Amino acid sequence: MGKRKKPAASGSSAAGSKPPSACIVPDLLYLGPVSATANTGFLQRSGITHVVSIGKLPATVTEGISYERLSLADDEAAALADVAARACAVIDAAAASGGRVLVHCSAAISRSPAVVSAYLMRSRGMTLRQSLETLVHARDAVSPNPGFMRQLAEMEKELFDGRSSFDVSDVVPQTRLMNYLL
């Protein structure tokens, strides 16, 4: 029986291994779990200049990167709008200065994808369906909680004169969002 290879060291990526985060907007926006913030190789290769932490700050910080912590519980009753507006301001400011942003929460399944979906609608003119499809294509585990989905649907209606591109009431909690989009 052969020996097992040791896992790749932080910062390197073995062939076929999952990248530490997903690129959402080329040369600007990445989405990933908190573990991506400790991957200095990824941060350097991707040119990350800003990290938006949805929840708590990562345990490891990298010199030369600006960190912004935005408090948001992964709870259906948690208010998304103000956090999304603040994240949009950070991302837009980074874009204006040629920076690149990693947005993360613990697992990049609910909170940070909801915030990034709001950014894509507000700053990139995408509908809710387009933003969710973009996220799911990049990271198939994306599945904002039902409360965030309802708030994103309301945000879309505000942005697009009452129009809605995606009926969030069809989404069954704890079901992969990609099942509804692809």
Q: Is residue 109 part of a domain?
A: yes
Query: Does residue 11 form part of some domain?
Result: no
In a domain, 1, yes or no: no
Residue 61, domain member (yes or no): yes
Asked, for residue 17, whether it belongs to a domain, the answer is no
* Within a domain: 84: yes
The answer to whether the beta carbons of residues 65 and 136 sit under 8 Å apart is no
CATH code for the domain in which residue 94 is found = 3.90.190.10
pLDDT digits (tens, 9 = 90+) for 97-146: 999 999 999 999 999 999 999 999 999 999 999 999 999 999 999 999 99
Determine how many CB atoms are found less than 10 A away from the CB of residue 147: 18
Question: Residue 13's pLDDT is what?
Answer: 40
Range of 52's domain?
22-181
Residues marked active site are found at: 105
Instruction: Check whether 6 has a pLDDT greater than 60.
Output: no
Give the model's pLDDT for residue 149: 95
In a domain, 4, yes or no: no
- Is residue 71 in some structural domain? yes
Q: Which residue in 40, 32, 10 sits closest to 101, CA to CA?
A: 32
Q: Give the count of domains, the chain.
A: 1
What pLDDT was estimated at residue 103? 98
What mean pLDDT do residues 153-173 have? 90
